[in-house]
Amino acid sequence: MHNYFDDRNNLNKSVPILLIENQERYGEHFSTEITNLRFEYLQEIVESLEKVLSGELQYYDFGYEVYSIECKKEIAQVIDTYNYWKCIAEIPTQAIYLLLKDWRDYLISNPVITESKDVAKDLEIPFNYIFFDGINLLEVTGSYDNWLSSDDYAVYSNSYVEIREKRIYIFKENVKTLSTFRYFSKQELELLTKKHNLKIKQRDDCFYAYDDNYISRTLEISQNDQLTVIYCLTGSYGPEGIFIYAVFENQKEMKLIEQFYCIQTEIFGNGSKNINESIASIKTELIRPDIKILDPNGNNLSSERKTYRKQITARPSEYSQESFIIDELLFLSKTYGFEIEEHAIYKGYYTSVLKIHKLYDCPGEIILIEHQGKQYIMIEFKRWQFEYQPRGAGEDSYGEDVTYVLGIWENPLLTDEIITKIKLKR
């Protein structure tokens, strides 16, 4: 995000920045043209390109000012309308589609506040939540500014905000004044105000965050692991009302777990076993591993967890209800760092591949683990240890004996559609 001050209307504004690899190949204004597309137009473009790729449309063109991007099923041409309509670049239409789709999805996931007058109006996607003020339960969209049902602290101190079963008690959970008086440095306060589109004022030797609706009031921030609320109490003779500036769902960062507890079991031809227990690392080959993810305290996750597995392959769009489609496979490949290939015979069928050993001839698996409100994923590939395996039905029943753990991630980045497909029973 690029934050700046617009001196034409004295407002702090933010615009998203799009970085494209080797973008100079497509014209010096290419990324600027894309970022200036209105969201409704961007949505129309993505839907139209889907029709071009499927063959429903033979041709589609779009643009902003300098360039016209003319798309057929295989190739899109970038036309410089300011230079005698010269074609300055050719790009696969699939690549243009994926770029614009990713950009649209980013804008949906990261709504931009452009001005600070009315947060509810300025958010491209309004936020909805439940507000309980100690007596009354209210459904709210955007900001909230009203009287409390009671000015008795014993009553209103039980107020909470709830979004999709995530709840925060506003006056009881990690409450801090948005000022440099105690909790924040000036730099930290500036970062917070830029992030949440607030302003800063100075009073005596301290700096305070404020909103134009309540210039004289100092805002508070209340946070727990799931939600953040920015608000202030209002009233002439003590707390009589509340102004909720904004409610945010905290975005947990995806975390790579590099080590785990592992029990490896090697099974010999005579049926005997060799069991080895140790701390193991990702990106290693393990013999029939039983993997235990460790919590921050070094303890195994309890057995009270749900686990779902799915092969990392993609099929044509007509199978999209149960299988990954190519866009989803590309997303997973880019996010989690594995390669994909199209089937040599069956066009439109793609699979994940691991090329560190020739015996990895099967697609990888993605394992989704849900445990005490948290999500983890693990990606693994399997192979036989030797070319002459399996040596019989007994060994075959155990399955491949070597597992390569590509990675384990906490709070993984997954779309709702991908999660639904992983959980789908086969």
Judge contact between 144 and 118, C-beta under 8 A: no
Which ranges constitute the DSSP H helices of 129-242? 153-156, 186-195
DSSP string, 37-86: S-HHHHHHHHHHHHHHHHTS-S-EEEESSSEEEEE-SSEEEEEETTTTTE
* Other residues' Cβ atoms within 10 Å of the Cβ of residue 229: 25
pLDDT over 70 for what percent of the chain? 82
Tell me whether strands 160-163 and 285-287 are parallel, antiparallel or unpaired. Answer: unpaired
Dihedral sign for Cα 281, 282, 283, 285, please.
positive
Find the distance separating the first CA and the last CA of the chain, reported in whole Å. 42
Task: Please report the pLDDT score of residue 355 as a whole number.
Answer: 92
* Other residues' Cβ atoms within 10 Å of the Cβ of residue 86: 10
Q: Is 417 exposed, middle or buried (0-12, 13-18, 19+ CB in 10 A)?
A: middle
Query: Which residues are 203's β-sheet partners?
Result: 206
Provide block-wise average pLDDT over 10 residues at a time, the chain (426 residues).
44 53 67 75 89 92 82 91 83 90 78 36 53 93 89 93 90 89 80 80 87 78 88 84 87 83 84 87 93 74 78 83 86 90 88 93 94 89 88 73 94 85 82
Task: Please report the pLDDT score of residue 6 as a whole number.
Answer: 45
Task: Please report the pLDDT score of residue 383 as a whole number.
Answer: 94
Q: Give me 347's structure tokens.
A: 């066009």
How many residues would you count in the chain? Answer: 426
Task: Please report the pLDDT score of residue 368 as a whole number.
Answer: 95
Task: Please report the pLDDT score of residue 230 as a whole number.
Answer: 92
Q: Give me 172's structure tokens.
A: 């009881």
Helix, strand, or coil here: 315?
A: coil
Q: Among 383, 281, 152, which Cα is nearest to 291's?
A: 281
Tell me whether strands 374-383 and 273-281 are parallel, antiparallel or unpaired. Answer: unpaired
* Other residues' Cβ atoms within 10 Å of the Cβ of residue 94: 18
Domain segments of the chain: what residues? 17-109, 119-249, 255-423
Q: Is 77 exposed, middle or buried (0-12, 13-18, 19+ CB in 10 A)?
A: middle
- Give Cβ neighbours of residue 130 (< 8 Å, ≥ 6 apart): 137, 138, 139, 140, 161, 162, 163
Q: How far is CA 261 from the centre of its chain?
A: 28
Task: Please report the pLDDT score of residue 396 as a whole number.
Answer: 67
Helix 39-54 × helix 93-109 angle, to 10°: 140
